Structure 1
């Protein structure tokens, strides 16, 4: 039996991504600052903070703000590296504009529609697979029933063969008895014929003795 599948709502079409180079630079800077703040807070928490017990979030924030922010990849201070990154981004602004244009030109609606079609197709395939599994299970049960019926039929045929052997033996015995009966009947006929001949001869002899013609 095919298990009913829960209806899945199709995801809403994704909005077209629009980003300017300035927004990209700002997002990169904010992301780097957030990563560094998290690393500094984690390092402060790992060192145990200042004084007894665990430091509060405020203490962690103040400690992370007082620590020098360093890029983990290059090991350079962040206040030196960010201006360099901004300069490089400005230098490649045309290229970034091209990348942004490519991103903005992506057919998100068509991609979403294709993904939805793929999801629907996958659900149809899964439903078909479940149906095939059910049909295969039913076929296996039918084959098992056929095998059981075949075994039963084999037993019946074996019983028939045994009965036929007994009937054949009885038929052979009956035919032999009939042949013996025919032989006895022929012997009796010959005996009667012999006795009749002897009686006729004896009667003739008696007639001759008595002088009868």
Structure 2
């Protein structure tokens, strides 16, 4: 029951970001001029951090079929959970990718540096938040290349990912460090 409520809540949130595109075929259908093959691109580096494996600062892009150059898709960014210590952008996204793509949204899943308390120089707060802000900055700059609309970005997360998202989209310091402001993630 809880999972269903979460999915319904996410869909309502994402629907608020919808562009409302319609064609002569009726509401909610994709205009023929917006039809193009979707793009799947994985392990795209969004930042380079000294001493950090490239995979921890990478993202995956899953663009819907409708994301043609002149009809860019709104973007849903997903940040995984894992207690800031574990997790990966590929975990538990198998149901999310088709859910959002079939609704016309680009789905982007983001990795961030993980904390290993046993490491000699462990990653600590606010590095996780800084990574996600850097991923959003990269996405704003490169969304067009994948058929996404950088003016319509919704950011979601689970567990630690949700905490990171909450910090990044409400504390302007993180996005400002990447030359963005809070409006970069507004659904307008």
TM-score in same-fold range (> 0.5): no
Normalised by the length of structure 1, the TM-score is 0.18
By relative contact order (CA 8 Å, sep 6+), the higher-ranking structure is 1
Give the structure with the higher percent strand.
2
Normalised by the length of structure 2, the TM-score is 0.20
Give the structure with the higher percent helix.
1
